[in-house]
Amino acid sequence: MMNIPKHIAIILDGNGRWAKAKGLPRKYGHVERKKTVEVICEEAYKMGVQYLTVYAFSTENWNRPKDEVDALMTLLRNYMKTCLKTAEKNRMCVRVLGDKTGLDEDIRTRIDELEKATVNNDGLHFQIALNYGGRDEIVRATKAIAEKVKNGELAPSDITEEVISQSLDTKGIPEPDLLIRTCNEQRISNFLLWQLAYTEFYVTPVAWPDFSKEELTKAIEAYNKRDRRYGLVKED
């Protein structure tokens, strides 16, 4: 019987390249990305995964061509509507990570509605990283902690790893057991820098639009072969 990771994080890579290889506009790959996310959410939960976090739009993605960014934002607006219906159907609890202040007001409103509507759902905990960067998250957390110190609410000597963890966007969410990155890229691209300290990494050449239940199973099978020591020495 397989040991199912409690929390899986995924970097959804290769969408534009997938489309380009098929002679299609890059934005078509992002349309397919949304469909794959919906499939994997359902399949992961069926397999016993409790938390799923996807890297949807990074703080660096604003540097992409304007037409691609605009297309991504349009898709995001549409996805917020779809996600609410999916969450109602599957009792999914949705949370958005990242600096929401950098998003348009209508998107922030939809995020707020989505989070409030699903907060008590007892199905898959689904986190979407939007306008997210690991360094930015740590900077924002540090500023919040510094403000507490300044106001006399916290002594510098009381700052611990737990205090920092509880100041991050992922407050209350267990750290990922497994990180999956598609399209053979072997870097973390500023994703969950604090949280991935002891996470197992799995890289696949498959582009995200082609990622399936079978590919998810392969990733979990590989995870089951890992020896998670957390810095300790295993006794013979």
Mean pLDDT, residues 116-138: 96
Q: Give the confidence band of 233 by pLDDT, cuts at 50, 70, 90.
A: low
Q: Does 236 have pLDDT greater than 70?
A: no
Question: What percent of the chain stands above pLDDT 90?
Answer: 74
User: Does a structural domain hold residue 118?
Assistant: yes
How many domains would you assign to the chain? 1
CATH number at residue 123: 3.40.1180.10
* Count of alpha carbons within 13 angstroms of residue 64, beta-carbon side: 16
User: Does a structural domain hold residue 231?
Assistant: no
Q: Give the confidence band of 234 by pLDDT, cuts at 50, 70, 90.
A: low
Residue 235 has a pLDDT of: 64
Burial of 123 (0-12, 13-18, 19+ CB in 10 A): middle
Per the CB < 8 A criterion, the answer to whether 177 and 196 are in contact is no
Pairing of strands 178-181, 200-203: parallel
Place of tokens 């979990």: 220
User: Does a structural domain hold residue 167?
Assistant: no
User: Does a structural domain hold residue 196?
Assistant: yes
Question: What percent of the chain stands above pLDDT 70?
Answer: 97
Candidates 229, 93, 99, 102; CA nearest to 172 is 93
Which of 61, 121, 190, 224 is an active site residue?
61
| C-alpha to C-alpha distance for 7 and 12, rounded to whole angstroms | 16
User: Does a structural domain hold residue 41?
Assistant: yes
Which of 13, 136, 169, 177 is an active site residue?
13
User: Does a structural domain hold residue 50?
Assistant: yes
Mean pLDDT, residues 146-161: 97
Mean pLDDT, residues 90-113: 94
70 in catalytic set: no
Helix (H), strand (E) at residue 54: strand 51-58
| C-alpha to C-alpha distance for 124 and 45, rounded to whole angstroms | 6
State the average pLDDT for the chain.
93
189 vs 227: which has the higher pLDDT:
189
Its domain, for residue 14, covers: 7-133+174-224
Helix (H), strand (E) at residue 95: strand 93-97
Cross-strand partners of 180: 10, 202
Give 190-228 pLDDT, tens digit per residue: 999 999 999 999 999 999 999 999 999 999 999 999 987
Packed helices 26-47 and 213-224: angle between N→C axes, nearest 10 degrees = 60
DSSP symbol at 192: S
179 vs 33: which has the higher pLDDT:
179
Candidates 57, 56, 49, 55; CA nearest to 8 is 49
13 in catalytic set: yes
User: Does a structural domain hold residue 83?
Assistant: yes
Residue 161 has a pLDDT of: 97
| C-alpha to C-alpha distance for 163 and 160, rounded to whole angstroms | 5
Give 45-60 pLDDT, tens digit per residue: 999 999 999 999 899 9
124 vs 20: which has the higher pLDDT:
124
SS3 206: coil
Give 13-72 pLDDT, tens digit per residue: 988 899 889 999 888 788 888 899 999 999 999 999 999 999 998 999 898 888 888 888
Question: Measured on CA atoms in the order 76, 78, 79, 84, is the torsion positive or negative?
Answer: positive
Q: Does 117 have pLDDT greater than 90?
A: yes
Q: Give the type of residue at 3.
A: N
142 vs 76: which has the higher pLDDT:
142
User: Does a structural domain hold residue 198?
Assistant: yes
Candidates 94, 82, 78, 172; CA nearest to 127 is 94
